[in-house]
Amino acid sequence: MKKTNHVYLLVFAPYGDSSSQVNEPANAKLTLELVGGFYGNPLYTGPGISVDESTRRLIEFVRENHGEDVLKTHSFWRAFTLREKYEETGVVPWNDINSCIYHPVSSSPKREMSNKEFDDMWRRERAMEEGMLQGIDAYNEIMGY
Residue 32, classed as helix, strand or coil, is strand
Decide: 61 and 43 in contact? Cβ < 8 Å.
yes
For residue 21, the model assigns a pLDDT of: 85
For residue 17, the model assigns a pLDDT of: 77
For residue 45, the model assigns a pLDDT of: 64
The residue ranges of every structural domain in the chain are: 6-102, 111-145
**Amino acid making up residue 119:** D
Provide CB contacts within 8 A for 104, sequence distance 6+: 15, 71, 72, 73, 74, 75
Highest mean pLDDT among 27-36, 80-89, 105-114: 80-89
Give the residue-averaged pLDDT of 83-111. Answer: 83
Residues 38-75 have pLDDT tens digits of: 555 656 666 777 888 888 888 898 999 999 999 988 99
Q: Is the pLDDT of residue 13 over 60?
A: yes
Q: Is the pLDDT of residue 16 over 60?
A: yes
For residue 65, the model assigns a pLDDT of: 92
The residue with greater pLDDT, 77 or 47, is 77
Give the residue-averaged pLDDT of 116-144. Answer: 90
Among the listed ranges 26-30, 46-50, 82-86, 113-117, which one has the minimum average pLDDT value? 46-50
Q: Is the pLDDT of residue 115 over 80?
A: yes
